[in-house]
Structure 1
Amino acid sequence: MLSIRHSRRDFLRSGVGLAGLTLPTFLQARNSSLSSSASAKACIIIYTWGGMSHFESFDPKPEAPVDLRGEFKPIPTATPGMQFCEHVPLLAKHSEKLAVVRSVHHKQGGHQQGMYVTLTGHDPVPGIKAKGRNNHPSLTSMLSYFHDPAVGTPAAIRMPYSMYDNGKQMAGEGAGWLGSKHDPILLRTPAGEPYGGVNRYTDRELNLLLNLEKERVSGRNALLEQLEGTLSARVGSGTAYDQLDHYRKMASDILLGSPVRKAYDLESEDPRIRAMYGDHMGGQSLLLSRRLVEAGVPVVQAVCSASDLAGGGGDNWDTHRDHFPKMKNRLLPVFDRAASALLTDLEMRGMLEETLVVFLTDFGRTPKINGNGGRDHHPGVYSLVLAGGGIRGGQVYGSSDRKGAEPGSDPCSPADVHATVYRAMGINPDMELHDQQGRPFRICDGQPLPLT
């Protein structure tokens, strides 16, 4: 097991770690955990906030009792013997690219807890809070820690907003004990009809700065550099000043530099490609994800749902009522079109083999349909999907039982899914890191699934 005994920030700050490692030696230690034969060089995470039903997506149950299986019918996919819900027909045509994992389960039945274990691979710790530094790092942050971005681009971006429930921002999307330097940068999707027609932006998105004139930014930076040179000399480098300086330089690179700025200009995209994704925030977010990866950003997370589950409307996957009309008319058409367009686009550009695409969600939905025509939270079993990045498509791993209530074979956890992602991205999932207080943490407690 590889153990890096001090935080990456400390090494980068000083150039020499407490154990006597120089910066090149530290980077060599970090990179020794990476496999040069890894297929995936980038990762796009598609998150369906609220809990996507496995019944009405990738694990239909036509043989279940009528009060469990629901209104929708299964359809064949391009893979013999594999069936999807009838309302994801485009993804069904892409099944030869997909590895569907039908036996994921955990014990966290609330949105905060379910999202946390899904995005971090760990059960919640006491006292978790949004942007908390005792939280486990998100998958997005951990992947970006090990993968250097192209010059002038951040290592990780998430869009189009943070996840909220009842007005409260959820924990689990940040870098946690890795430190704020590894928090993904939040970027607002610049186009597309919002979910349910309700704009739920609650963060100060980076795009508010993207339209500033370059001359103004450049002039301000020159002044800041003069002031900060004096401040750094007085305060020293061993303070939070380093974090602020990192973000200022990153923002400047994005504003002036051009890979992300150009990627953000969706108007410059081929109109036919843009139309393929759909004129919706979900589709435009995935188009932007592809453009960012193409620009050199190694990790992108896109939330395909309204930001706040119960704080003011908008479409999300928390379908406690009117489940079937919401899925049929609003949620599945956007998701099916956008996700299938991303797969098509990546393949056309020769990017799919080196870009891992992962569909994640909080949990599944209950087999039993409630009195409001909805399905409730169900972490007992649900489905996730991986594609590209060396993943062997056209396969199903594991199964749920006849009722879709619990694993029927090969049960696995979110941690196992994380280990699979790490392995595909060339990262040793058994690696141990130490936080900024020197406490040891394994980056993952799971085992890779045999999907490659």
Structure 2
Amino acid sequence: MHTKPTLRCDGVNRREFLTVGALSALGLTLGDALRASAASSVGRGLGGKSCILIWLDGGPSHLDTFDPKPDAPSEVRGPFSTISTRIPGIALSEHLPRTAQVLDKVALIRSLTHELGNHDTGSHFLLTGHRPNPALAYPSLGSIVAKERGNRAALPPYVVLPEATSALGPGYLSGAFGPFAVGRDPAQARDLALPEGLTLERLGERRAILEQLDRFSQTVEANAATQSRDAAYEQAYRLLAAPEAKAAFDLAREPASLHERYGRSKLGTACLTARRLVEAGARFITVVDSGWDTHQNIAKTLPDALFPGSGKLPALDRAYAALLTDLSERGLLENTLVVLMGEFGRTPKLNALGGRDHWPRAGFACLAGGGVRGGQVIGKTDASGESPTERPVRPEDLSASILTLLGIDPATEYHHPDGRPLRLINDGIMLKELV
């Protein structure tokens, strides 16, 4: 029995990496996240695209969302009917009416497939493009973008809302490229303000002391940490002092009508924050939406059947459609890649509890903006949604495509500390249909 939506069936609870509250203590815990600026290659351009990844943590049912099977038997079809969309002949779940009206902006992949049915391994595969390796932790796509593209203005290049999972980390890269996470509901997140009694003047004095300590440590032992520390703390200080950084997280600047458009759910608030962060210069924003591990009672947990605002599908429908529309209206969608996915799909047949279990052989992903050609469906599953029958898409292919769309060559090589060359993505190929 699952009583907490933040827990998956494996009992893993997401934890904070970095928090807004920790920022205000002095910016010390933000140091790693902001070392990305110092560690990025000198002269790298600051233009280019941003990415918003909406991660449906737990594994969303493809059959009850983006790949329904209305003609299948009831135990396969599930409890929901379907609705038509802006793509002729393509239907979605009845609980995605707003998304159906913006599907002309979306490239819907219905043939995502792999073999890893555990939450952690599946998440790692989708978020890094690599099968998990006990001897080597691979960097998440967000960390790769942080390293390759650097940051703009005072914001960290890689932000997670509200909190990160383990697969969203920097892997074998420096902690400099890990995510900055709000760590709570963005609507309740404290502004990037200093604690009571701590002024910027006092913070500057503490920064000066840290600089002196760093200079001393560098005379004793020079290493990667000491070489980048000065720039990291300088960036942390800038984040605390910069009005544009504070403004990016200040949702009170948005009209009530726009809040209603996104929805007052945590997902809606996070998506609205993500749009503000894109405007402020963040490179890669991951929005983590938990609660998709639907082993039981899909008929009540996915729609608003328990109480208003309880359902996963209405909140997703509202927030996702609002994000695409808002970005489009502001002229930001062309340069903002929006990705929607989870670690796997769910079983073709309902189980005895009225839910669906893990099923990595078939799943979906949605890509929009960032140069993607919308209004199309890529791939197809069989009549029961069990396996792809056309154009199977692997996690490596999806990762390679995301990086390519963001202007990063997936064949780029990094080097392990022992000198081994490591490609960003080993076997994936760009999905040509996307462009």
TM band (smaller chain): 0.7 to 0.9
- The CA distance in 2 between the partners of 1:270 and 1:188, in whole Å, is 24
- Give 2:248's match in structure 1, choosing from 240, 263, 273: 263
2:23 alignment counterpart? none
C-alpha separation between the residues in 2 aligned to 1:240 and 1:87? 50
Distance in 2 (alpha carbons) for counterparts of 1:210 and 1:301: 23
Name the structure 2 match of 1:225.
211
Q: After superposition, what is the alpha-carbon deviation per residue over 1:96-121, rounded to whole angstroms, capped at 9, x for unaligned? A: 10000000001101000110001001
The residue aligned with 1:20 is none
Gaps of at least 5 residues in structure 2 are: 1-34, 305-310
Partner of 2:434: 451
Compute the displacement of 1:225 (Å): 2.5
User: What residue is the counterpart of 1:284 in the other structure?
Assistant: 269
Per-residue deviation, residues 302-330 of structure 1 (Å, max 9, x unmatched): 1012xxxxxxxxxx000101122101121
Separation in structure 1 between the aligned mates of residue 86 and residue 204 of structure 2, nearest angstrom: 53
Whole-Å separation in 2 of the counterparts to 1:336 and 1:242: 46
Equivalent of 1:234, from 195, 220, 227? Answer: 220
Matched position secondary structure for 2:248: helix
1:54: Cα distance to partner?
0.4
Per the alignment, residue 187 of structure 1 pairs with 182
What is the aligned residue count? 389
C-alpha separation between the residues in 2 aligned to 1:191 and 1:185?
A: 13
Equivalent position SS for 1:303? strand
State which of 87, 97, 102 in structure 2 corresponds to 1:94: 102
Return the alpha-carbon distance in structure 2 between the equivalents of residues 192 and 366 of structure 1. Answer: 35
**2:51–2:284 CA contact under 8 A, matched in 1:** yes
Q: Does 1:363 align with 2:365?
A: no
Q: Give the whole-Å Cα distance in 2 for the aligned partners of 1:326 and 1:335.
A: 13
Q: Percent identity?
A: 38
Matched residue, 1:18: none
Q: TM-score, normalised by structure 1?
A: 0.81
- Asked if structure 2 preserves the Cα contact closer than 8 Å seen for 1:161 and 1:303, the reply is yes
| 1:311-350 matched pairs, under 5 angstroms | 316-329=291-304, 330-350=311-331
Counterpart in 1 of 2:397?
416
**Superposed CA offset, 1:270-296 (max 9, x none):** 222222111121111111111111101
CA distance in 2, matches of 1:211, 1:52: 39
Q: Distance in 2 between matches of 1:208 and 1:268?
A: 12
Match of 1:157 in 2: 159
TM-aligned CA deviation for residue 427 of structure 1? 1.6
Corresponding position: 1:390 with 2:371? yes
Alpha carbons of structure 1 residues 378 and 240: separation in structure 2 relative to 1, 3 Å:
same
Supply the AA of the counterpart residue of 2:243: S
Q: Which amino acid aligns with 2:122?
A: G
Counterpart contact for 2:211–2:230, Cα < 8 Å:
no
Residue in structure 1 matching 2:284, options 294, 299, 303: 299
Counterpart for residue 272 of structure 1: 257
- Determine the structure 2 residue equivalent to 1:313: none
How large is the Cα RMSD of the aligned pairs? Answer: 2.4
TM-superposed deviation, 1:226: 3.1
Distance 1:379 1:244 in 2: 42
Aligned residue type for 2:388? P
Structure 1 residue runs of 5 or longer lacking an equivalent are 1-8, 16-22, 128-133, 164-169, 194-204, 306-315
Question: Any idea what SS the aligned residue of 2:215 has?
Answer: helix
CA contact (8 A) 2:109 2:364 kept: yes
